Structure 1
Amino acid sequence: MTDPHPDQGAMSDESWTIAHRALPLLDLTSLNEDEDEATTDALCARAVSPAGPVAAVCLWPRFIPQARERLAGTGVRIATVVNFPGGSLAPEKVAEQTAEALADGADEIDVVIPYHSIMHYPHSTQPDEVLAATREAAGDAVMKVILETGCLAKPVFIERAVEIAVRNGADFLKTSTGKVQVGATLGAARIMLEACRDSLKPGSPRRVGFKASGGIRDLDGARDYLALADHICGPGWVSPATFRFGASGLLDALLAALGHGGTHPPPSSAY
């Protein structure tokens, strides 16, 4: 008898494969204005999922010590944000935020580039100044530079922001804060991933990774970004050291595809 659903098994296999790849790449993120100790505990509990731990949690600086205590021994890294979300603070203030976050136990710093100044560059040197100060304060910690590509919009401005971020020591290029209308897009991701590919060339001072954040909530979105990364940077490039998804709403979709079901509603921010 002919199988009435000949592609169902293949689709299930593909979904499992995507979810299996994506879950260890997830920066489980919660940056709502009403976060408290209870929501932080819940975030940390979700980070060690039935299918394995995510790469990191990303939360407000004031919750770093709590997350560090809750996640001790799990392998989940602690990420936080500085110059967030507007990207408008002075370099010395951003450096101060970075130093305090690291002293509290953060492993990774997600810093917003002064994206409003990108279109005026080089008449405004604020992007260089802020990122240089953050890099110095961060030392050997991972520095992810949030470009807010949805606001930059034009490829020429995204390319300029990428060049400034790479030159100032970015470990990752990140699409969005998740606080503006347009988050991650495949067009912006292509520009950013091409810079990641170029950083693999001999003589490059630092290898650069990519973080897609803002609006990625399902397996189709995860698949599209993973496929683009495989195409541009090579099929062996993607790992937690080079690629992240900044999201919380994505976790339930991944767990469902892996056979664990969705046990928690996505947060209202849907970062």
Structure 2
Amino acid sequence: MLEATNRQIAALALSLMDLTDLTDDCTPEAIERLCACARIRHGHTAAICIWPRFVAQARAILGPNNAVKIATVANFPSGELAVDTVVEETSRAIGDGADEIDLVIPYRALMAGDEQAVRGMISAVRRVCPAPVLIKAILETGELRDRDLIRSASHIAIQEGADFLKTSTGKVAVNATLEAADIMLTCIRESGRKVGFKAAGGVRTIGDARMYLNLAATIHSPDWPMPSTFRFGASGLLDILSVLEDREPVAGATAY
């Protein structure tokens, strides 16, 4: 990654992106635009990430077996819903056509010392996610803060069958950080399992993307970041299009 050009990083970042709209005022029209933005002449994003209520609409737009996966959220953003409620919303989303479930772990329970709450939540959702549906466990690392807590959450999520570790909901003050990513990527390596990593919130530019990709390449290998193992969550295309089209980046890029 260190030797990659900005254009190469942009093309890779596009293929690794979960293009996201989890705004409170999201509309069906916004979902139509999101689906269109996920498929551009330079390629397509790995997925879109949307509220459960829009999954059926997105599936109708994208059609079956589309290269762009549909991710949705569960236990989001608080991480404090009852297990039965989360299982029900997960099952409904899968029935509507979701390919991936971004599940917020009960991180406040973990902070209070209740590891079993996290294990119970992930394992219950795992049981209703038939292959090839993926679970991305959202750790909310900016709230956990403590390195040992982030390590513990990472190892628990991997042990209970999460397919990805995801940093954040994007709804708190501190979201993705390189420090948290370092811990999570190291835990994945230590596990010896095929588990992916997703940085969500705060990744706004090609430069930001490069730093996370370099970190993953250092801890794992240069060819490790691919859609099955690495994702970015963002509500815009960063400055990907400007790099791919050799024009000035648009100011005010947003991040999820």
> Residue 224 of structure 1 aligns to which amino acid in structure 2?
M
Q: How far is 1:119 from its partner?
A: 2.0
Matched, 1:22 2:9: no
| Residues 54-79 of structure 1: CA deviation (Å, up to 9, x unaligned) | 00000001111111111126410000
Alpha-carbon spacing, 1:101–1:261, altered in 2? closer, same or farther (3 Å): farther
Alpha-carbon spacing, 1:20–1:267, altered in 2? closer, same or farther (3 Å): closer
Matched, 1:174 2:160: no
Q: How far is 1:195 from its partner?
A: 1.8
Matched, 1:185 2:177: yes
Question: Where in structure 2 are the equivalents of 1:23-38 lying within 5 Å?
Answer: 23-38=14-29
Matched, 1:258 2:250: no
Question: What are structure 2's unaligned runs of at least 5 residues?
Answer: none
Q: How far is 1:265 from its partner?
A: 8.5
SS of match in other structure, 2:31: helix
Partner of 1:113: 105
Compute the TM-score of the two structures, normalised by the length of structure 1: 0.88
Which whole-Å CA distance do the structure 2 matches of 1:242 and 1:156 have between them? 23
Percent identical pairs in the alignment equals 48
How many equivalent pairs are there? 253
> Residue 96 of structure 2 aligns to which amino acid in structure 1?
D
Matched, 1:86 2:78: yes
Alpha-carbon spacing, 1:165–1:21, altered in 2? closer, same or farther (3 Å): same
Alpha-carbon spacing, 1:60–1:267, altered in 2? closer, same or farther (3 Å): farther
| Residues 83-138 of structure 1: CA deviation (Å, up to 9, x unaligned) | 0000001111111111000000000000000000112224x621111111111111
Alpha-carbon spacing, 1:120–1:35, altered in 2? closer, same or farther (3 Å): same
Question: What are structure 1's unaligned runs of at least 5 residues?
Answer: 1-12
Partner of 2:30: 39
Alpha-carbon spacing, 1:137–1:259, altered in 2? closer, same or farther (3 Å): same
| Residues 6-29 of structure 1: CA deviation (Å, up to 9, x unaligned) | xxxxxxx72111101111000000
Partner of 2:58: 67
Which whole-Å CA distance do the structure 1 matches of 2:117 and 2:207 have between them? 37
Q: Identify which of 208, 213, 219 aligns with 1:221.
A: 208
Bigger radius of gyration, 1 or 2? 1
Pick which of 236-245 and 132-141 moved more. Answer: 132-141
Which whole-Å CA distance do the structure 1 matches of 2:168 and 2:207 have between them? 19
Which whole-Å CA distance do the structure 2 matches of 1:84 and 1:234 have between them? 32
> Residue 216 of structure 1 aligns to which amino acid in structure 2?
V
Give 4+ residue runs of structure 1 displaced > 3 Å after superposition. 260-268
SS of match in other structure, 1:224: helix
SS of match in other structure, 2:202: coil
Contact 1:248/1:266 (8 A) holds in 2: no
Which whole-Å CA distance do the structure 1 matches of 2:249 and 2:56 have between them? 26
> Residue 117 of structure 2 aligns to which amino acid in structure 1?
Q
Compute the TM-score of the two structures, normalised by the length of structure 2: 0.93
Contact 2:163/2:195 (8 A) holds in 1: yes
Pick which of 73-82 and 58-67 moved more. Answer: 73-82
Contact 1:178/1:213 (8 A) holds in 2: yes
Contact 1:170/1:208 (8 A) holds in 2: yes
Contact 2:109/2:118 (8 A) holds in 1: yes
Pick which of 79-88 and 188-197 moved more. Answer: 188-197
Q: How much is the aligned-residue C-alpha RMSD, in angstroms?
A: 2.1
